Amino acid sequence: MNADDRRCISEVLNGRTEAFGFLVKKYQDRLYNAILRVVDNREDALDVVQESFIHAYQSLNSFKGDAEFFTWLYRIAFNAAISQKRKRKVQLSLDLPANENGRSQEPEDQSTLNQPSDRIEQEESDQRIHLALSRLAPEHRAVLILKDLEGHRYEEIAEILDIPIGTVRSRIHRARVELREIIEALENKQ
């Protein structure tokens, strides 16, 4: 475990609770960006992140230190996000996730070869993928985000979600198959 994290956790457990603020500042943006991809809503992501830090603070004495603090925190947040997704009705959104300024995260293409029709086609493709991701079961969406968007290894995903590695592999396979079917169905509707 990271030495700074270990020091902060020790300080918090010894009564210096303000040391937890260091961990919040260090991990809040990274956690928010990951959770935003799961819940697909800025306000919900903020709620889940806040709830996760509160839960982590209250459960800090149960943190064993055999994994990175962020991995443990990530697991708490993903479980909270998945629970929240299960509780809510399915809401479809064609909007791309926004950055802190409320603007689309999609970067501008400065290429001279870029044609307006290419950009429209790319935006339509991005919207189909975004819509298809939003239709996946929370468990499938979580593993795809962790693997394909966040770049985690199977072992890390298993640890974060607290599931066996074989389950991670099967969920990723099923999620990719399901995602492909949803995208094909969306393309056939056009």
Residue 116 is which amino acid? Answer: P
CATH, domain 1-89, list 3.50.50.60, 3.50.30.30, 1.10.150.20, 1.10.1740.10: 1.10.1740.10
Longest dimension (CA), the chain: 61
Nearest Cα to Cα of residue 10 among 55, 56, 52, 65 = 65
Q: What is the dihedral sign for C-alpha 155, 161, 162, 166?
A: negative
78-82, 83-87, 114-118, 144-148: range with lowest mean pLDDT: 114-118
- The helix-helix angle for 20-39 and 42-58 (nearest 10°) equals 140
Q: Which residues, including other chains, have CB under 8 Å from residue 125's CB and lie 6 or more apart?
A: none
pLDDT of residue 98: 55
For 133-184, the pLDDT digits (tens) are 888 888 888 888 888 888 888 998 888 888 899 999 999 999 999 988 888 8
Nearest Cα to Cα of residue 49 among 27, 18, 64 = 27
In the chain, what are the domain boundaries?
A: 1-89, 114-190
For 91-138, the pLDDT digits (tens) are 444 445 555 555 555 555 454 445 556 667 767 776 777 788 888 888
Do 1-89 and 114-190 come out as alike in CATH topology? no
Q: Give the architecture-level CATH label for domain 114-190.
A: Orthogonal Bundle (1.10)
Note if the pTM is more than 0.75: no
Residues paired with 98 in a beta bridge: 104
